[in-house]
Amino acid sequence: MTTAPRFTTLVDSLPSTIPFVGPETLERQRGEAFQVRVGANESAFGVSPKAVEAMWEAVANIAWYNDPEAYDLRNAIAARHGVSLDEVLLGAGIDEMLGNVVRMVIEPGMPVVTSLGAYPTFNYHVAGFGGVLEAVPYRDDRIDLEALLDAVRRTEARLVYLANPDNPMGTWHDAAQVRAFIDELPESTLLVLDEAYIEFAPASAVFPIDADDPRVIRMRTFSKAHGMAGARIGYAIAPSRTIGGLGRIRNHFGVNRIAQAGALASLGDAEFIASVVDEVARGRNEYHTLARRLGLASVPSATNFVAIDAGGDGDHARALLARLQDEGVFVRMPGVAPLDRCIRVTVGTAGERALFARIFEAVVNETGEKP
């Protein structure tokens, strides 16, 4: 057996896991495409026509490197949030920026706080840089802010992660609660406030970005409401010192010119985003109604997906998920108990929702007994 190349001790110690197995991988495994793709919280409602046009224009110059400073887009983001240019960072999605934040502040062996069952890509990056995760259980399907704060204080963690609204449950905290949480954070702790789903949240959960607080970095994405998940683009806002730190380690040409052009145009198309948000709200209501009709509970959601309680334990939900996949429906589910009693269904188009409802009803009836 060859031992070359020699890995670092850290890489040697890591398991070969990926946070999410892509639907394409699953399709290759089953030898067939899915009929309904409602598992990855992608948008079913397309991209702004203005963004499509801008992206086609960018294709014409694809031989040129992209602007590594993404000046136009960062300016537009800064103007929108009333912050300065040096307080805005772009990345290849929130996922990439999460990795760089961990890399910036965590040395091997340091504690990092998150919630048990929360967004696994963050955990993957923490492991990849040698951090030690302290994961706090949810309370009533919501992130437990008090327990999160206790864990930060107890471990003296430099880094804590909070998604609001949350994935995988879709629940959220109002702005006042998140602000109170931030107020209580120690000076030495950095909060990653992941707002991937903020466009779908009620106004009560949204609060202006204060780029003066060194304890917070806010992250948003073009992957959800803007419908550009495959373009890989998101942004972060934080004080210039934090953004400058990330600037020392970021991949300078990592956000491609098509994505930059599309994001800039999409940012200017508020009407389109509002229409997506409306459609998503309609779809969520449909899923809640469907669950109720089948005698199942569903979790209130401020995102583009709904967690449906499959009516048993994790094994029951996993069996249901496997049956759905057999029938050509791509859905995912939370990874740990007690959240894993649910399956997580992204809002699809009206046609996808109807097809999902039909297959889901049949599978629920066949997998039988509800408690």
Scanning the structure block, which residue is given the tokens 């304890």?
Answer: 215
Residue among 100, 189, 221, 346 that touches ligand PLP (CB under 6 A): 221
- Are residues 221 and 234 in contact, defined by beta-carbon separation less than 8 angstroms? yes
Q: Does 93 bind ligand PLP (CB under 6 A)?
A: yes
Nearest residue to ligand PLP by CB is 93
Residue 311, both tokens: 């009516």
Residue 82, both tokens: 């009333």
With contacts defined by CB under 6 A, name the span among 27-35, 87-95, 126-134, 204-212 that binds ligand PLP: 87-95
Cα separation of 347 and 345, whole Å? 6
Q: H-type helices in the chain, by residue range? A: 9-13, 23-30, 49-59, 71-81, 93-105, 120-128, 145-155, 175-184, 240-247, 257-267, 270-293, 314-326, 350-367
Binding mask 32-71 for ligand PLP (x = CB under 6 A): ---------x------------------------------
Contacts of 6 (CB under 8 A, 6+ apart): none
- Are residues 199 and 172 in contact, defined by beta-carbon separation less than 8 angstroms? no
Q: Does 254 bind ligand PLP (CB under 6 A)?
A: no
Q: Does 163 bind ligand PLP (CB under 6 A)?
A: yes
- For the bound state, the minimum distance from the C-beta of residue 93 to ligand PLP, rounded and expressed in Å, comes to 3
Q: Does 223 bind ligand PLP (CB under 6 A)?
A: yes
- Are residues 294 and 345 in contact, defined by beta-carbon separation less than 8 angstroms? no
- For the bound state, the minimum distance from the C-beta of residue 94 to ligand PLP, rounded and expressed in Å, comes to 4
β-strands 305-309, 342-346 pairing: antiparallel
- For the bound state, the minimum distance from the C-beta of residue 221 to ligand PLP, rounded and expressed in Å, comes to 3
Closer of 167 and 266 to ligand PLP (Cβ):
167
- For the bound state, the minimum distance from the C-beta of residue 118 to ligand PLP, rounded and expressed in Å, comes to 8
Cα separation of 211 and 131, whole Å? 26
Q: How many Å is the Cα radius of gyration of the chain? A: 21
- Output the CA torsion 36→41→42→43 (10° steps): 90
- For the bound state, the minimum distance from the C-beta of residue 41 to ligand PLP, rounded and expressed in Å, comes to 5
- For the bound state, the minimum distance from the C-beta of residue 223 to ligand PLP, rounded and expressed in Å, comes to 3
Closer of 325 and 346 to ligand PLP (Cβ):
346
Phi-psi region at 45: left, alpha or beta (left = phi > 0; alpha = psi -120 to 50): alpha
Q: Does 256 bind ligand PLP (CB under 6 A)?
A: no
With contacts defined by CB under 6 A, name the span among 89-97, 289-297, 308-316, 343-351 that binds ligand PLP: 89-97
With contacts defined by CB under 6 A, name the span among 9-17, 63-71, 221-229, 344-352 that binds ligand PLP: 221-229
Q: Does 131 bind ligand PLP (CB under 6 A)?
A: no
Residue among 23, 234, 262, 283 that touches ligand PLP (CB under 6 A): 234
Residues that bind ligand PLP (CB under 6 A): 41, 93-95, 119, 163, 167, 194, 196, 221, 223, 229, 234
